[in-house]
């Protein structure tokens, strides 16, 4: 959809952006410009094949990363985009458990552990059986120690693209990792009305996996300038690139969506 400035009202479907709405957007655009933003963090966890063995490695490395990164911290629950997919590297076929999230330190730790395991597999390929057993015993002992400390609940669907939710509960000594079923594109279906990064990741994946985009009452969407910018692209049926989502470097649950065309138009509007 194309907006042409200047006009007194803009329409998304049947909704009119009036002067008050644009004053709000312009003020929000100015406020957002003062925040230090950063990108979401990816991890491409490479394994030889998609099997129960390597799925266990992946889950265990996420649990160990929770234990390390969130040690001494309170209850935490967040989401990540999950894409299990075959890939090719250096002419070799392999499998990737790709994850993308805003919990930077957690993703970085999972990525490092995955890289260490991959390098270990290469190093041990032609190693003596005794060395292979020694390394396997070390990883086994580490996993056993973690499972004595934490109760693990794993309900990840490894067969499809979607959202996984990680729950770190130090009071109950439980770490839960599970595929999260999609909600609608109505902000009212979300606990925080898509104001958190955890929720916007769910929202974007839902927009990518449902055939029709039904956003509910747009009055609730335009309460948020970032969500409005995202909704404009969804309604225009434009591909949603996760590179367009950015997070506050000081608060990873605060997000923004870059929509240069819409932002440029807002920039021509001055609050009254």
Q: Mean pLDDT over residues 89-118, rounded?
A: 95
Torsion sign (Cα): 15, 19, 22, 28:
negative
**pLDDT bracket for residue 272 (50, 70, 90):** low
pLDDT tens digits along 213-265: 677 778 889 999 999 999 999 888 888 999 999 999 999 999 999 999 888 88
Q: Is the pLDDT of residue 95 over 70?
A: yes
Number of Cβ atoms within 10 Å of the Cβ of 200? 25
Query: How far is residue 247's CA from residue 199's CA, in Å, rounded to a whole number?
Result: 13
Check residue 216 and give its pLDDT.
77
Check residue 4 and give its pLDDT.
31
182 φ/ψ angles, rounded to the nearest 5 degrees: -70, 145
pTM: 0.90
DSSP characters over 168-221 = EETTTTEEEEEEE----S-GGGSTTTT-SHHHHHHHHHHHHHSSS-----HHHH
**pLDDT bracket for residue 3 (50, 70, 90):** very low
Do 109 and 85 touch, CB atoms closer than 8 A?
A: no
Q: Is the pLDDT of residue 177 over 60?
A: yes
Do you find a cis peptide bond into 6, omega within 30 degrees of 0?
Answer: yes
Check residue 11 and give its pLDDT.
47
Check residue 126 and give its pLDDT.
83
Query: How far is residue 200's CA from residue 109's CA, in Å, rounded to a whole number?
Result: 23
Joined tokens for residue 34? 């003062």
Joined tokens for residue 150? 């934490």
Number of Cβ atoms within 10 Å of the Cβ of 49? 10
Check residue 6 and give its pLDDT.
31
Q: Is the pLDDT of residue 58 over 80?
A: yes
Specify the length of the chain in residues.
272
Joined tokens for residue 102? 């805003």
Residue that the structure tokens 């990737």 belong to: 96
Query: How far is residue 3's CA from residue 262's CA, in Å, rounded to a whole number?
Result: 8
Q: Mean pLDDT over residues 20-38, rounded?
A: 92
- List the chain domain ranges: 10-34+182-267, 41-179
Which has the closest alpha carbon to 199: 82, 73, 102, 65?
102
Q: Is the pLDDT of residue 202 over 60?
A: yes
H/E stretch holding 104 reads: helix 104-124
């Amino acid at each position: 959809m194309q907006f042409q400035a200047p006009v007194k009202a803009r329409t998304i479907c049947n909704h009119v952006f009036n002067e008050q709405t644009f004053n709000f957007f312009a003020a929000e655009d100015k406020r957002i410009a003062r925040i230090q933003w950063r990108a979401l963090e990816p991890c491409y966890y490479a394994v030889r094949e998609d099997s129960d063995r390597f799925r266990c490695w992946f889950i265990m490395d996420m649990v160990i990363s929770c234990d390390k990164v969130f040690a001494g911290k309170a209850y935490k629950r967040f989401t990540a985009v999950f894409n299990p997919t075959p890939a090719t590297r250096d002419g070799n076929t392999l499998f990737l458990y790709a994850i993308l999230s805003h919990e930077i330190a957690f993703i970085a730790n999972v990525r490092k552990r995955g890289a260490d395991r991959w390098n270990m597999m290469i190093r041990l390929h032609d190693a003596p059986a005794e060395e292979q057993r020694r390394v396997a015993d070390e990883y086994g002992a580490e996993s056993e120690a973690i499972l004595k400390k934490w109760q693990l609940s794993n309900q990840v669907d490894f067969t499809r693209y979607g959202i996984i939710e990680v729950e770190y509960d130090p009071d109950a000594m439980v770490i839960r990792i599970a595929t999260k079923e999609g909600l609608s594109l109505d902000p009212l279906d979300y606990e925080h009305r898509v104001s958190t990064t955890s929720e916007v990741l769910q929202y974007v994946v839902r927009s990518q996996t449902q055939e029709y985009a039904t956003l509910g009452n747009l009055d609730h969407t335009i309460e948020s300038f970032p969500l409005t910018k995202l909704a404009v692209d969804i309604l225009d049926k434009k591909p949603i690139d996760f590179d367009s989502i950015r997070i506050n470097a000081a608060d990873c649950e605060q997000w923004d969506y870059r929509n240069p065309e819409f932002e440029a138009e807002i920039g021509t509007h001055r609050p009254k």
